[in-house]
Chains A and B, each alone.
Chain A
Amino acid sequence: MSLVQSINGALRRVPAWTIYLVGTIYAVWQFWLALNQIGPYLVEPINVLERAYGEAALIMMVSVLVVTPLRKWAGINLMKFRRAIGVTAFFFVLAHFLVFAILDVQTLERVWTEIVKRPYVTVGMTSFLMLIPLAVTSNNLSLRKMGAAAWRRMHKLTYPAAILGGLHYLWLVKGFQLEPIIYLAAILGLVATRYVTLQRKRLMA
């Protein structure tokens, strides 16, 4: 049995809800650390929590984009986890937004000002809004009702949402920092693989 086969075999035994479980435990654990000001949350928990949820969201967005290329080029099948990864990404974006709005900026008026006045917040907010219909329709009922083609077309919103999320991070840091560049590059690269595949299909047709 090849390595890929044994990986796929092992993955088959892991239920998809594991993703939700791990995501929830991580989110609650970070909140608890922040509440008790432990470790990285010692001095200023609000921004650190905001950032932890934002970064978790980016990691999940990158992960969701990895599923298809990984299956296509490495033969590793994570397909059954994809919905759970995507929905978890949405919940981290939601948590990130709630920490920003309620704990950080604190008033509705200021939240609105931030969204319309600061381009990096506008970009992040746009990404969040794009993810809402995707999260809402991430169930079998919606898939059946919409029809597979329409559903798939709509869920291509994942690509711009991920790119805007990466841009949001790059835009908010000070100075030349590597981490946001790595995230954005990974997202752009993974979205590009779709484009390359599409081109190839067209050439073959």
Chain B
Amino acid sequence: MAYRWSNTLTKADITPKDAYLNRRQILAGTIGLGAIGLAGGASAQGDLKPNTLEQITSYNNYYEFGTGKGDPAANAHKLVTSAWSIKVDGLVDNPGEYALDDLLAGLSVEDRIYRLRCVEAWSMVVPWNGIELADILRKVGVQSRAKYVAFETVVQPENMIGVQRRVLDFPYVEGLRLDEAMHPLTIMATGIYDEPLYNQNGAPIRLVVPWKYGFKSIKSISRITLTDREPPISWNVANPREYGFYSNVNPNVDHPRWSQATERLIGGGLFAARQDTQMFNGYANEVASLYNGMDLAEFF
């Protein structure tokens, strides 16, 4: 079931109805809850302008290839992405080692222009090409006991300088609750600007969960496991005080070492102004209901 969520984010897509909705939501935000996130999110979606391919491919966090922002672009050419396969296991009907092409065969690749908000308080706008994760999961058959999806990044120690230096406990692992994974906003990206993913962006296939901090969107996925318990995630293992399983973008819950209230959009140059970070990165309308009744300061 592709095309369950359509971009309302490009300038071309703006309709009078959108403008009307935006105004109404801003009004509701100021009168009602004072929910800056909701109001700001709706209003700011209209003027999302994607970053350039050069920016997107030269400013990356991919610790397997070094901790500097330019390191992945410099080192990721060593990643071997040919003959890629993904191991699908756990609580699925059709487990196995899938060749990437087989896993994606028959599924629709869609354009999704999303903001990407890094936990380090910067952000970008990326025009992804990808497949809804839900489509892939349905294809392999999720069993009813499954509650979570766990992901793993490939490990090629001889090609990955960061793995040799043990910056983190590799392989990098991530996870989502099943309802988050099945949400129409959640995609597995295979391209940017209609080009195949660059290695530094997580080739050949990566997760994109736009309402969570960037590190949740795990790169170069080699394994997907359906499970009934919350899987470990790398940054939480490295520092549980600072990184939680959910890691939803939330301007009201600070990272212990820096504020999450504002962010700087990449590409603005030396005098770029900070802008307010939005609740769920501007996707509150779509995803807030997933967390009804949850204390997001506790489940950060």
Spell out A's residues near B (CB within 8 Å). 34-35, 37, 40, 42-49, 103-106, 110, 113-114, 117-120, 171-178
Contact = CB atoms under 8 A, between A and B. Distances in A.
A102 to B, nearest CB: 9
Interface stretch (B37-45, B190-198, B199-207, B257-265): B257-265
A177 B167 CA distance: 6
A113 B260 CA distance: 12
B55 interface: yes
A123 to B, nearest CB: 11
B266 A175 contact: no
A116 to B, nearest CB: 12
A43 B59 CA distance: 7
A64 B260 CA distance: 37
A34 B269 CA distance: 8
B58 to A, nearest CB: 6
Given A118-B257, A175-B238, A43 B168 contact: no
B272 A46 contact: yes
Given A44-B59, A176-B166, A171 B270 contact: no
B58 A42 contact: yes
Contact of A173 (B67, B259, B272): B67
A71 to B, nearest CB: 35
Nearest to A107: B274
Contacts of A177: 67, 167
B141 interface: no
The secondary-structure label for the interface of chain B is loop
Contacts of B55: 42-43
Given A37-B269, A171-B257, 19 more contacts: A35-B270, A42-B59, A43-B55, A44-B59, A44-B69, A45-B269, A46-B270, A46-B272, A104-B264, A106-B274, A110-B259, A114-B258, A117-B259, A172-B257, A173-B67, A174-B120, A175-B63, A177-B67, A177-B167
12 contacts: A35-B269, A40-B70, A42-B55, A42-B59, A43-B266, A44-B59, A44-B69, A44-B122, A45-B270, A103-B271, A110-B259, A174-B67
B277 to A, nearest CB: 13
B165 to A, nearest CB: 7
Contacts of B271: 103
Most B-side CB within 10 Å, residue of A46, A103, A117, A120: A46
Pairs of residues from A and B, 8 with the lowest C-beta to C-beta distance, nearest first: A43-B59, A175-B167, A45-B270, A43-B55, A34-B270, A175-B168, A44-B266, A35-B270
Nearest to B61: A174
B272 to A, nearest CB: 7
Contact of A114 (B63, B167, B259, B273): B259
A68 B137 CA distance: 65
B19 to A, nearest CB: 30
Nearest to B124: A43
Nearest to B270: A45
Contact of B258 (A42, A44, A118): A118
Nearest to A39: B70
A7 B168 CA distance: 44
A54 to B, nearest CB: 14
A176 B70 contact: no
Nearest to B242: A174
B267 interface: yes
Contacts of A45: 269-270
A178 B254 CA distance: 26
B165 A178 contact: yes
Interface in B34-65: 54-55, 58-59, 63
